[in-house]
Structure formats: C-alpha cells, structure tokens
A = this chain, B = another copy of it.
Amino acid sequence: MTHLTDIEIARAARKQKIQAIGARLDIPEEALLPYGHDKAKVAQSFIEGLRDRPDGKLILVTAITPTPAGEGKTTTTVGLGDGLNRIGKRAAICIREASLGPCFGLKGGAAGGGYAQVIPMEDMNLHFTGDFHAITSAHNLLSAMIDNHIHWGNELQIDQRRVVWRRVMDMNDRALRDIVTSLGGPANGFPRQTGFDITVASEVMAILCLAEDLADLQRRLGEIIVAYTREKEPIRARDLKADGAMTVLLRDAMQPNLVQTLENNPAFVHGGPFANIAHGCNSVISTRLALKLADYVVTEAGFGADLGAEKFMDIKCRKAGLSPDAVVLVATVRSLKMNGGVAKENLGAENPQAVQAGCANLTRHLENLRGFGVPVVVAINRFAGDTEAELEMLRKTVEAEDAEVFLCNHWAEGSAGIEALAHRVAELADSGEAAFQLLYPDTMPLFEKIETVARKIYRADGVDADPRIRAQLAEWEAQGFGDLPVCVAKTQYSFSADPSQRGAVTGHRIPVREVRLSAGAGFIVVICGEIMTMPGLPRTPAAEGIGLNADNQVEGLF
C-alpha cells in the first residue's frame, strides 16, 4: 500500500513530452499545438483528414448512484485505459475538463486518484488550455450584444422582460445569481433583472461538446434562443449577428486537448458540461478523434448511470451517431454500504448486509444499462478497508443477476491492478455483442419522452407536470422542436427527485417544475427539483488554504 497523496504521486510521475504521447497515436508533431511541454491541442486540420478512417471500440464507464463515500468513476476510466494499454491494446481515454470555480470552494477536482490519474493535475484544475475562459467570453459577448441591441433602439423588438440569456463566470459566486443590471441612467442601458450562472452551465458549453466541427458550432450558436418578442417570437443569437464572433472566440477551444496518464498513455480531456441541465459528457469532437486514432476508447459520463449514462446514450450517442460497444458499471464497497443505509461515519465497520442492501441500487442500474443493448460488466474499485466478507457478498449478489464482477486495484497498483477487467472489456467490445438501441425514438412526443425516462430509468410511477408545462411542450412541438431528446435535471443522489432516498427507491413520482429549450445544443431541459446553476463558496473556502510553496508548486488545491 502506498502512503502518498494523489498530488505526491502526480508530482513524482515521469512525464513524457506531449509530442511523445501524441506519437503513441501517430499524431505528427506539427498536428500538435503545444501548451507548455505536457499539454497540447490537436489541430483542426489534422482532425479533418481522419474522416475516412474506421472507428475503434467505444467503452463507457458509469457508476451507481453517487454517495459521499466516492465511487471512483474517473479513477476507473483512467485505470481501464492504462490497463488496456498494458495488455497491448492501443487505447485512449476521453474525459471532461474540470471547472475552475469550484476548486476554490471545496478541495478536489483531481483527474482520477492514486495510481490512476491524468496529469498535469494543477493545470487541469486551473486554466488548462483556456477552453472554459473562451466559453465564458463567447457567452458573455452574446449577453453584451443583447443589452447593446436594446440600448441602441431595439430594432428586433426584444421584450426586455423575456430575455432568457444570462451571463456566466467560472467562479462560485452566489452574489451574482440574481442581480439587476444597467442602473445609473440612460448611458448604461435599460435596468433589467438577470443573473450569472457558472460557465459549465452555459449552453455554449453544451454546444461546444456536441458540435461536429466549426461550421456546425457556428450553426448551433446561431440557433441559441436569447429572448422573445412581446408576441413570443424567439430571438436567436443569429438575429443579433453574434454567431460569427462567438465562433471566432471558440476556434481554439474546439480543438481537443491531449495529456497523459501517470503511465504515459494518451488522454483527451475536452469539454465539461453540467450533468443536470446539460448532458455531462466530454466533447463529441474529442471522442470521435480518439475513435479514429485508437482501437479502444474509454470514456465516462457524469453522475450515476440513471443521469450520466442515459444522457450519454440518448443525447450524445443519438446526436453524434456514436454507439458504445461495452459498459463498465463502477461501485465501491463503501458506496454500496451507503446506498444500503449506512451513515458515512460508520463506513469503517464491516457490514456485508449493508453491501447486499446497497446492491439493489447497483442491480437496478445494471438492468437499465442492459436495456440499451450493450454488454455491461461491474467493476469494483477496491479500498484498503474492504473486507473479504463484504466482497464475497457483493460478488454473490451481482453474479445472481447473471453479471460479471471484477475486483480492481488500479488505485493502488495502476494498470497491474486492472488487467482482468481490461481483458474482458476488450473481448466484449470485440465480440460484436452490442446491439445499441436508444431509449426512445426522436418521433415520440416530448412529454412521453419524459415519462419514458422516468418509468424505465428512474422507475417512477409517473410524472407530475402543470398544464402550463404540458402546453409549453406542445408549443415547442408545434414549432418543430418535437424531435429533440430530453435532458432531465434531477438530483444525482437518488433514482427519485428526493436526494435523501438512496438505494432503489420505488413508488415515487417525478415532479417537473420547469422546462427549458436549449435550441442550440438541441435538447429540452426538464427541471425536476432544485438545480443550482451558480454555486456559492462555503464558510471556509478552500481558497483560503491555496498558495504556492517555496518551489512555486500549488498547495491546497487538492
């Protein structure tokens, strides 16, 4: 067992120059735009030349319902990527970029853990290659152009009460949630109540992650609905002529970022939309690039499988024409115990019964995932304190569901601890067993789509929604938005809309509070419960303990 922290392990890593990592995937040096010696963007022109290559196999790593005990989804994604490389496969990892703001609230934000990490950690948790700053700029340029248009005469007849486009900042700043702008007289425009969201909640982020190329990016940006007229006619970013300049601001950000794992295997880290009001997956462009360059691509989706995997399938794969070849469902003994009703402070005590109870959550996710027609295996991310009795109970319970379970020790051992899973996943992906199917067809009416997700995935008895909400959905259907998928924003801590209901809750209903149209991203956001789009800082923010040490290394960020 190691006694080193994640950051100590990361700093001790023998990093290779990013050109050497690119060479592993036959990316020529001139196609890499370096950011320092250990990060690079892959040039758009190179990507365009790969169109006719065959795709590798796509493997999704997802998890049971998250608890404060931790599941290790990213750790397992990284570990499996390393494991596939270890057994001689040409594999790459695709994960999301971290948001800057939250790092100054609570510690965390590392990319994996133990001996299954992506580096350089510090950069990835700070500015990285500037993608999120570019998204912030593009979003806020559009915001400024809206108020500017109104200020100079409002030719488009925007109803100032119906501006739906807010501003964004990559910072946890509760003071900006609800503000009044344009005070101070005529030179400052017309006062209006509005607010800021955190950058990852921007529709621009979702768009960047779903766009196929720069032309598609600009088209989608143009589709963004920013406001309505008095007659409720939508005003789009294109009507304000903002789409071209926004695309210019995002040109570099559209190029996927290449970094490496601790074992010097290639990792693409690109995009990071919220997993509630957006789809929570890394960018389509980086997933596609990785599929062109590697034989196996391991990726992950946000939160548990009910939210993350469902959106990966029904939004990302549907939109991008992707098709997963295998799914890995991750759990830890500790998180199963919490799903089985154990409080965090009691996780240290051996409790096979709680593991068995928690497996109800795991097996429900398993059934759900099988519904997509893709082979699924269970990976247990081992902790030092897991007992034999607990692991045996887990194995027995999962195998009773006709599922394979792999005990993985990549956190402590790196790729050596995950070889068995790697072999099996490669075999499954190569088997052609996958017969991927979406949960619902495009043509299904919007409300039925919500009901389908609620019944089949959340196992709810039904969906509650005001006539107002049903009328809004009908209106969008009439306007031609009926073929969009739905993106449910719901607590990640339960199958239900109540975060306190762990395990495999039944008998619940899903209450829809609000629906929003993300016309650029191409989905309908269905808000069920309180969703925070601008976090606040805690009483003692992590920022207070963050600083440079004598070697100018960052301390306190992790």
CB pair A140–B173 under 8 Å, yes or no, is yes
| B245 and A104 form a contact (CB under 8 A) | yes
| Stretch of A106-114, A397-405, A439-447, A550-558 contacting B (4+ beta carbons < 8 Å) | A550-558
Question: Least Cβ distance of A289 to chain B in Å?
Answer: 16
Q: Does A137 contact B (CB under 8 A)?
A: yes
Are A554 and B251 interface neighbours, CB within 8 A? Answer: yes
When the two chains form their complex, are residues B133 and A249 in contact, meaning their CB atoms are under 8 A apart?
no
Q: Are A183 and B173 interface neighbours, CB within 8 A?
A: no
Assess whether A174 is in contact with B151, with CB atoms less than 8 Å apart: yes
Q: Which A residues, 170 to 190, have Cβ-Cβ distances below 8 Å to chain B? A: 170-184, 187-189
Residue in B closest to A243 when the chains form the complex, CB atoms: B547
Selected contact of A174 from candidates B104, B148, B171, CB within 8 Å: B148
Mark A370-390 against chain B: 1 for CB-CB distance below 8 A, else 0: 000000000000000000000
Given contacts A241-B544, A245-B544, A248-B547, 9 further A-B contacts (CB under 8 A): A126-B249, A147-B174, A152-B539, A169-B169, A175-B192, A178-B184, A179-B183, A241-B543, A245-B543
Chain A 126-138 interface 0/1 with B at a Cβ cutoff of 8 Å (1 = within): 1100100110110
Residue ID in chain B nearest A34 by CB atoms: B34
A536 touches B (CB below 8 Å): yes
CB pair A175 B181 closer than 8 Å: yes
Measured between C-beta atoms, what is the minimum distance from A549 to chain B in Å?
10
CA distance A169 to B36 in the complex (A): 26
Which residues of A, 524-556, contact B by the 8 Å Cβ criterion? Answer: 536-537, 539, 541, 543-548, 552, 554, 556
A153 CA to B140 CA in the complex, in Å? 32
Chain B residues near A170 (CB-CB < 8 A): 137
Contact of A137 among B127, B182, B183, B539 (CB under 8 A): B127
A253 to nearest B CB, angstroms?
Answer: 9
Bound together, the chains give a CA A218 to CA B126 distance in angstroms of 17
Given contacts A148-B541, A251-B554, contact A187 B173 (CB under 8 A): no
Q: Which residues of B contact A33 (CB under 8 A)?
A: 35-37
Chain B positions within 8 Å of A188 at CB level:
174-175, 177-178
Q: Say yes or no for A343: interface residue by CB 8 A criterion.
A: no
Copies in the complex: 2
- Interface residues in A241-276 by Cβ distance below 8 A to B read 241-245, 247-249, 251-252
The 7 closest A-B pairs by CB, nearest first: A244-B547, A178-B184, A133-B133, A241-B544, A245-B543, A144-B173, A245-B546
Which residues from B are CB-within-8-Å of A133?
Answer: 127, 130, 133, 136-137
Chain A 342-375 interface 0/1 with B at a Cβ cutoff of 8 Å (1 = within): 0000000000000000000000000000000000
8 Å CB contacts to B: which residues of A86-129? 100, 104, 126-127
Please report the C-alpha to C-alpha distance between residue A35 and residue B128 in the assembled complex, in whole angstroms: 12
Complex interface: chain B residues within 8 A of A541 (CB): 145, 148
Interchain residue pairs with CB less than 8 A apart (7): A33-B37, A34-B36, A104-B144, A127-B133, A137-B170, A144-B537, A177-B188
Taking CB atoms, residues of chain B closer than 8 Å to A152 are 539
Let me know if A409 is at the binding interface, CB within 8 A. no
Residues of B within 8 A of A127 (CB): 130, 133-134, 137, 249, 252
**Interface assignment of A9: CB less than 8 Å from any CB of chain B:** no
From B36, B144, B547, contact of A175 by CB (8 A) = B144
Within the complex, what minimum Cβ distance (angstroms) separates A548 from chain B? 6
Counting CB contacts under 8 A, is A85 at the interface? no
Cβ of A214 within 8 Å of any chain B Cβ, yes or no, is yes
A144: chain B residues at CB < 8 Å are: 104, 171-173, 175, 537
- Residue of B whose beta carbon sits closest to that of A144: B173
The B-contacting residues of A in range 6-57, CB under 8 angstroms, are 30, 33-37, 41, 44
Residue in B130, B151, B241 whose beta carbon sits within 8 Å of that of A536 in the complex: B151
Q: Is the CB of B548 within 8 A of A247?
A: yes
